[in-house]
Amino acid sequence: MPETSTATPLLEVRHVSLAYDGHRVVHDVSFAVLPGRMVCLLGPSGCGKTTMLRAIAGFEPVEQGEIMLAGRSASRPGWTLPPEKRGIGMVFQDYGLFPHLNVADNVTFGLRGVSRDERERRLTELLETMGLMAARRRLPHELSGGQQQRVALARALAPRPALILMDEPFSSLDVELRERLSQELRELLQRHNVTAVMVTHHQNEAFAMADEIGVMSDGHIRQWDNAYNLYHRPASRFVADFIGEGALLPGAVLGDGRVEIETGVITTGHAPACRVGRIVDVLLRPDDVVHDDGSDLKAEVTHKAFRGAEILYTLRLARGGRVLALVASHHNHAIGEKIGIRILPDDIVASRVNPAPRPDPRPGATPHRSLSGDRAG
């Protein structure tokens, strides 16, 4: 992490709890965002991420804790700095474009006390970067979904806020547009040197946009990390389950970071601290399992999903354990065929203590997204 200790965080959330309609929806959440960083709150719907974002914007009062903006208190119990005095830009989920104003008037809406020349200059600059010059005089209902999103962003950026908040900015767009726009959006925000906090429930959007990601569930932040670590070193069963695909295999702890699983002994770079002999679940991502025709370790193909460049194979090991393997798609094998695999031995493999150790190894962990029913507490 770069110079964490020296720079003042632009946004600091300290032990904040939030309630909505009498229900507590965010519990004791803390995090800080340094200037220029892009941060994402990721979690399933109803996890409290949008309420957190609205509290940062000043729309929700905090019940406990404090929100600091550039070192100054902005929200504390019983007092909330009004949203219009925070200098924060916000892009709403449904964009909230003013239907009675055209694109130009929407974008310049937040420019108060700005000279006419300056207003025109900023408008032109923003519309040009967003490729909206031709749509200048159009009304919101005459724009495509992607254009509406860009107008909403341009409008939020126009007053030059230090911090911009985005609530599911891509949710109303179709999938192809999402991927492209999230790339564009990141570059654009970087060019304007904007600090951003975004909320989404799509991990791909979070991975594409954010330097740091906070995974939330039930009002708690479960892990605050970069994308790589969330994927390969999930701190809890919930995170492992929520992020990416994979399979869990039961294994016995041997000590020194080594765990014995069905396929042999593996070294985990992320060793669970527990006593020798304990049964744990080991998370194997599809990219931890490599197809190798020369390998002695064989597994039977039970399911395959063609994904273009790759095929995602679900494989059954000799003793019934299941793993997923992502294999280049010209290795086309039929269901029932036995193929050679290798488990990558390095520290990419992560493991996680099973919250409730199971004495008898199950005949194979559930493959695919949902790794298991119980969520880490």
User: In the complex, which residues of this chain contact other proteins (CB under 8 A)?
Assistant: 50, 57-60, 82-85, 87-90, 92-94, 96, 98-100, 109-110, 112, 139-141, 155-156, 159
User: Residue 197 CB, nearest distance to other proteins (Å)?
Assistant: 13
User: Residue 79 CB, nearest distance to other proteins (Å)?
Assistant: 13
Angle between helices 175-191 and 145-157 (to 10 degrees): 20
DSSP state of 9: P
User: Residue 262 CB, nearest distance to other proteins (Å)?
Assistant: 47
Helix%, strand%, coil% for the chain, nearest 5: 25, 35, 45
Nearer to other proteins, 60 or 212 (CB): 60
Number of helices (H), then strands (E), belonging to the chain: the values are 8, 21
Nearer to other proteins, 35 or 96 (CB): 96
User: Residue 99 CB, nearest distance to other proteins (Å)?
Assistant: 5
200 forms bridges with which residues in the sheet? 42
User: Residue 28 CB, nearest distance to other proteins (Å)?
Assistant: 22
Nearer to other proteins, 30 or 172 (CB): 172
Nearer to other proteins, 35 or 110 (CB): 110
DSSP state of 270: S
Integer Cα distance of 231 and 241 in angstroms: 10
At CA 151, angle to CA 86 and CA 45, rounded to 5?
70
Cα of 290 vs its chain's centroid, Å: 26
> What is the dihedral sign for C-alpha 97, 102, 108, 112?
negative
User: Residue 109 CB, nearest distance to other proteins (Å)?
Assistant: 5
Nearer to other proteins, 6 or 45 (CB): 45
Contact 313, 298 (CB under 8 A): no
Nearer to other proteins, 36 or 110 (CB): 110
Contact 291, 283 (CB under 8 A): no
Integer Cα distance of 257 and 295 in angstroms: 24
Contact 25, 18 (CB under 8 A): yes
User: Residue 38 CB, nearest distance to other proteins (Å)?
Assistant: 19
Integer Cα distance of 296 and 339 in angstroms: 9
Residues 6+ apart with CB under 8 A from 261: 249, 250, 251, 282, 321, 343
Place of tokens 């409730």: 356
User: Residue 190 CB, nearest distance to other proteins (Å)?
Assistant: 22
